[in-house]
Amino acid sequence: MKILVLSGQSDRLNVQHALSLGAADFLPKPCDAELLRARLRHQLTILEAETASRTPLRATEDLLIGTSVGLQTL
């Protein structure tokens, strides 16, 4: 499972900590919705290449967790 961190605590130490714990990417808040979509698509592409399975991946909307207004607009 790939974890993308979207956080308002985006100083260098927090970014480094998130990545060292295994996050695949870190995006600081506020985040441009198009950038977030692009990063999600990129991670899905990587996942497809890593698994090389013929099973289609779920739509991005099914993979988002959260109820904020920003997530709901995606």
- The neighbouring-strand residues paired with 28 are 7
Task: State how far the Cα of 47 lies from the Cα of 9, in Å rounded to an integer.
Answer: 27
State the average pLDDT over residues 32-59: 82
H helix or E strand, kind and range, residue 34 = helix 33-51
**Are 22 and 41 spatial neighbours (Cβ–Cβ below 8 Å)?**
no
The predicted structure's pLDDT at residue 60? 55
What is the pLDDT, as a whole number, of residue 9? 94
Domain boundaries, the chain: 4-69
**Rounded alpha-carbon distances, angstroms, from residue 7 to 39, 41, 56, 58, 63:** 15, 19, 29, 24, 17
Q: What is the pLDDT of residue 17?
A: 96
Name the percent of the chain lying above pLDDT 70. Answer: 80
